[in-house]
Every structure is written in C-alpha cells, then in structure tokens.
Structure 1
C-alpha cells in the first residue's frame, strides 16, 4: 500500500477538452509538487491521463475525466511513496490531500469564471 494515497473528485462546469488542457499537462503537477517528474504511461485523450511518478515521490498518478451533462467530474488519484522511504505523518498526508484539492479548485474557478452558479456553461443554454 502506498504511503500517500490521495483521491479527489471535483465537478467542473467546462468541456473535457478545457479541463484536459490544464490538468493533464505534466508541467501543471510538476510545478506544484517540487522534485516530482511525471512520465505518461496511458494517454486516454478526452478521458484523461495516467503517469508514473518519479523524483521526490515514486508511484502512479491519474486524472480521469468523466463527462457529465455540461460538466466534467475530475477524478484525481495519487498513489505514491516518498523517495526517501520515510513514512509521512497523518498531518503531512492531509496536507497533500488539501493541496491537491486546492490545485484542482483553482482550475475549476478559472474555467468557470463569469458563470453564475446553477447556470449552464457558456454556449449550452437552450441546447
């Protein structure tokens, strides 16, 4: 069992292509997790990507994009061990989970900017 096993689901009112453009880029995660490098092992186009994780962490990561009505359910999975072999404390594990959620929430906020809550995404009204 990995030392860090983080799972998150977030509904983003945007197209799968818009979400993929940000969350399926290796640089997005590498910029937010210093010392981590990702290598794509499964590119599933509009459904997301899977990576092997190297560097400061070792294991696997995945962004699965599940279209739902005019939105996308973004499933993010990190199953990694720290490269130095140390077992992170519960506080550190929670911090990773909170940070991961914050990164995805920031993308959600950016992609949904200007849309009133409860309204369809731009271009969807009346379809």
Structure 2
C-alpha cells in the first residue's frame, strides 16, 4: 500500500470523448503535474489514461472517465510514495504527510476544474451540454 492514496471525482457536462481528447493531449499531464515524470502505460481511449509516476513520487496515476447522464465523471487517482532527491524512499508522516497529500490532491482537482470551466463554456447552469 502506498503512503499517498488519493481519489477525487468531478462531473463535467460534456461527452466522455471530448474529455478523453483533452486528457490524451501531451500537454495535459505536463501542465498539471510538471514535477512528475509521467509515462502512459494504459491508454484506455474514451475511458481515460493510466500513468506510471516517477520523480519526487513513485507509483501510479489514473484518470478514469465514466459516462454519467449527459456528461462525464472524471475520476482522479494517485497512488504513490514520496522519494528523497537521491531516489530513496522518503518516510513521511503526521503533518508533513497531510501537506504532501493536499499538494497532490489540489493538483488533480485543479486539472479537473480547469477542464470543466473550459469545456462547459457557454453552458447555462442546469441546461443541456453545449453542442460540439
């Protein structure tokens, strides 16, 4: 079991194929997780992507796209352990673990909310999705 085991969900009122295209763009991961070396190990098409994680963290990250009603739920998972600059395992606990978890939870949330804001532009709250 990894020290960090984070999950978050965000509803986007756009079809999964639209969100999948954004997540598959090479700039997507680099924009939101620039400190991490992310390598795709599973391109799941309209269902999302999975990456191995290296750098200050070692583990896996996944964005799973689930069709729900007239949109998509973006599920974000990060399961990783912190590494010291020399690449050795870095034990973290207490308040430091809380700060580390918050840092990476916020990165995932920021990615999801910025996608939501951009892809739902022009949609009336509570109204139908914007045609693509």
Pick the TM interval, shorter chain.
0.7 to 0.9
User: Residue in 2 aligned with 1:42?
Assistant: 42
Shift of 1:4: 1.7
What SS class does the counterpart of residue 106 from structure 1 fall into?
helix
User: Residue in 2 aligned with 1:54?
Assistant: 54
Q: Which runs of 4+ in 1 moved over 3 A?
A: 24-27
Gaps of 5+ in 2: none
Distance (whole Å) between structure 2 residues aligned to residue 82 and residue 54 of structure 1: 10
What SS class does the counterpart of residue 89 from structure 1 fall into?
helix
Distance (whole Å) between structure 2 residues aligned to residue 71 and residue 55 of structure 1: 34
User: Residue in 2 aligned with 1:107?
Assistant: 115
Distance (whole Å) between structure 2 residues aligned to residue 19 and residue 55 of structure 1: 26
Calculate the TM-score normalised by the size of structure 1: 0.86
What SS class does the counterpart of residue 74 from structure 1 fall into?
strand
Distance (whole Å) between structure 2 residues aligned to residue 81 and residue 26 of structure 1: 24
Shift of 1:26: 4.7
Shift of 1:2: 1.3
Shift of 1:56: 2.2
Judge conservation of contact 1:24–1:63 (CA < 8 Å) in 2: no
Distance (whole Å) between structure 1 residues aligned to residue 25 and residue 41 of structure 2: 13
Judge conservation of contact 1:13–1:72 (CA < 8 Å) in 2: yes
What SS class does the counterpart of residue 118 from structure 1 fall into?
coil
Q: How does 1:86-105 map to 2 (within 5 A)?
A: 86=90, 87=92, 88-105=96-113
Q: How does 1:110-125 map to 2 (within 5 A)?
A: 110-123=118-131
Q: CA RMSD in A?
A: 1.8
Q: More displaced, 107-116 or 88-97? A: 88-97
Calculate the TM-score normalised by the size of structure 2: 0.83
